[in-house]
Amino acid sequence: MNRVSIFVIFLSIIILSSAAYAGSGSEFISMKTVSDPFSHWKHQKMNKSECDNCHEAEGGKIAGWGKEAAHTLCIPCHDMNEKGPVECKQCHK
């Protein structure tokens, strides 16, 4: 197999892998209380598309979403992974 064929196959795999996330919800989600848009696709990728890590049921909603739910769901995960905002001013500007 020549280098061009290998490159084309590799590029195809990357494109198809990226497309798997494109059909699963919005890329970014704007929230009223948070200044920066939420990167949904980035979180999906980090969670290996295991939606039930955040969503209790299908349909794209998080039951009881609001300040308390966000603080209970997001902050512990960010803290555990040492990635993402954990302090008030990191989300609320």
Model pLDDT for residues 2-44, shown as the tens digit of each residue: 877 776 676 667 666 555 544 577 888 888 777 788 888 888 8
Rg from Cα positions in the chain: 17
Domain total of the chain = 1
CATH of the domain at 77: 3.90.10.10
Note down the domain range covering 64: 3-91
Helix (H) or strand (E) holding 28: strand 28-29
Dihedral class, residue 2 (left if φ above 0, else alpha if ψ from -120 to 50, else beta): beta
The tokens describing 27, both together, are 């890329």
In this predicted structure, what is the pLDDT of residue 78?
A: 92
Entry pTM: 0.60
Backbone angles phi, psi at 38, to 5 degrees: -80, 125
Decide if pLDDT at 85 tops 80.
yes
Most confident range (mean pLDDT) of 11-25, 60-74, 77-91 is: 77-91
Give the phi and the psi of residue 61 in degrees, each rounded to 5.
-105, 150
Section 48-71 average pLDDT: 81
